[in-house]
Structure 1
Amino acid sequence: MTTIDTDHILLQARLDEGASATWTAACAAAAAARPGARLRRMAWSPTSGDAYAYLALARPEPLEAGDLAPVRDALARALPADAAPRVSRLTQAFDVAGASQDAPPAWHYVVEMDPEAGWRDELLRWYDTEHMPGLAAVPGSIRATRLLNHDHGPLSLACYDLIAPDVLGSPPWLAVRHTAWSDIVRPHFTNVRRTMFRTLG
């Protein structure tokens, strides 16, 4: 099996509205199964029912997928049978505080995608040198983080903690999205998922 240098673990499930306490407890159980890990963010989407959480490891570790079995089992035991829990190894590629870094993160917006063949280097360079620094600087943006998902893709997760969903429609945000470089690279996103989550902790 492939060993990956891992600094975060992604927890995922599908939950009905009103299950926030269940998700919070399940995430705590999963974190307890990985000594030294801490919960960085828990979130649930009222639109899709997707629940995400991120475990930050105490330090990067070379992990195989099977090394996450205790975390996956702890998560599954704490959730309903139909919650479809998954765990994935993540590597953090980018992280910066935003213009509104002192505000409470009420919303968590995630863009997941796989680069089209031959476009990975260009897309990741665009993300880390123009796009994410630009969006982090928008008022209402609290933090911008990009992670690589090595198990249950898409590969790239661009994550934004926001004060409100309408930050996405603000003129400064739209200006960053519509640069010349953005127009070149965005058509080469594949398997795109955009999800707005309500943060739970």
Structure 2
Amino acid sequence: MASKPTDCLLLQFTLAPAPTERLAAAAAQLCADSGLHLQRLACAPDGTTYLYARLPQRTQLGVEALPPLAAALERRIPAARDIRVARLQQVFTAPGHADGELPVFHYVVETDPEAGWQAELERWYDQEHMPGLAAVPGCILAQRYYNHDQGPLSLACYDLVSEQVLGSPPWLAVRGTAWSDIVRPHFTNTRRTMFRALG
């Protein structure tokens, strides 16, 4: 596979047993050993874990860079299972209304656009949806990436102060716009996951 512009590597795995306090330290050490920066570590109730490891700068990476990182994760976190590594290209970032607060939850929406709808999805995300959700009280950071390896293609993620932010009137108002009603039916392969932020 050709090299892809990469800002961040996403290590996806499941944990057995449940995460411990030592997990964040192990993840930070894994990143440090690899010359990366631990951007976010988050775990869902079913043990699904996302570890975002940021590169010092955007780099063209080939797929051959991924297996060594998976092997390093297996050594550093022996409880990790079903390890997958993906190259992420950042396409949007905005500090949120609660910028500077400590993230407690990490909400992720992964989706592929229906054929012919990618350009409209990009405009909607960049011009309305991501800026709108970033401005909601309780949102710390809004980001979106292209996932070049372990799709869906679009990965939008939000650091939140509380799980209840998703049900708040300002959040629901952004989700309920006319433009949203046009675009959202053209999402495919969509996954929505609420994680607890661990680091």
Q: Which category of TM-score, normalised to the shorter sequence, fits these structures? A: over 0.9
Indicate if the aligned counterparts of 1:25 and 1:78 stay in contact, CA closer than 8 A.
no
CA drift of 1:85 comes to: 1.0
Encode CA deviations 1:149-182: one digit per residue, 9 max, x unaligned. Answer: 0000111111000010111011110000010100
Indicate if the aligned counterparts of 2:111 and 2:189 stay in contact, CA closer than 8 A.
yes
Matches within 5 A, 1:1-20: 1-16=1-16, 18-20=18-20
Aligned counterpart, 1:45: 44
Indicate if the aligned counterparts of 1:22 and 1:79 stay in contact, CA closer than 8 A.
no
SS of 1:103's equivalent in the other structure is coil
- The CA distance in 1 between the partners of 2:160 and 2:175, in whole Å, is 16
2:95 counterpart (88, 94, 97): 97
C-alpha RMSD over aligned residues: 1.5
Encode CA deviations 1:40-97: one digit per residue, 9 max, x unaligned. Answer: 0101011x32100111110111111111222111012233466111111000000000
- The CA distance in 2 between the partners of 1:13 and 1:118, in whole Å, is 32
CA drift of 1:199 comes to: 0.5
CA drift of 1:33 comes to: 4.3
Aligned counterpart, 1:156: 154
Indicate if the aligned counterparts of 2:112 and 2:154 stay in contact, CA closer than 8 A.
yes
Structure 1 residues not aligned, in runs of 5+: none
In the superposition, relative to structure 1, how do residues 194 and 103 fare at CA in structure 2: closer, same or farther (>3 Å)?
A: same
**Aligned pair 1:184/2:149, yes or no?**
no
In the superposition, relative to structure 1, how do residues 179 and 118 fare at CA in structure 2: closer, same or farther (>3 Å)?
A: same
Indicate if the aligned counterparts of 1:109 and 1:195 stay in contact, CA closer than 8 A.
yes
Matches within 5 A, 1:115-154: 115-154=113-152
- The CA distance in 2 between the partners of 1:115 and 1:123, in whole Å, is 7
SS of 1:160's equivalent in the other structure is strand
Indicate if the aligned counterparts of 2:112 and 2:187 stay in contact, CA closer than 8 A.
yes
- The CA distance in 2 between the partners of 1:70 and 1:144, in whole Å, is 29
Structure 2 length as normaliser, TM-score? 0.94
Indicate if the aligned counterparts of 1:23 and 1:51 stay in contact, CA closer than 8 A.
no
- The CA distance in 1 between the partners of 2:16 and 2:173, in whole Å, is 35
| Structure 1 residue ranges, 4+ long, deviating more than 6 angstroms after superposition | none
Larger mean CA deviation between 169-178 and 22-31 belongs to 22-31
In the superposition, relative to structure 1, how do residues 64 and 175 fare at CA in structure 2: closer, same or farther (>3 Å)?
A: same
Identical amino acids, percent of aligned pairs: 56
Encode CA deviations 1:106-163: one digit per residue, 9 max, x unaligned. Answer: 1100001011111111101101110010000010111100011000011111100001
The residue identity in structure 2 corresponding to 1:110 is V
Indicate if the aligned counterparts of 2:104 and 2:160 stay in contact, CA closer than 8 A.
yes
* Aligned positions, number: 199
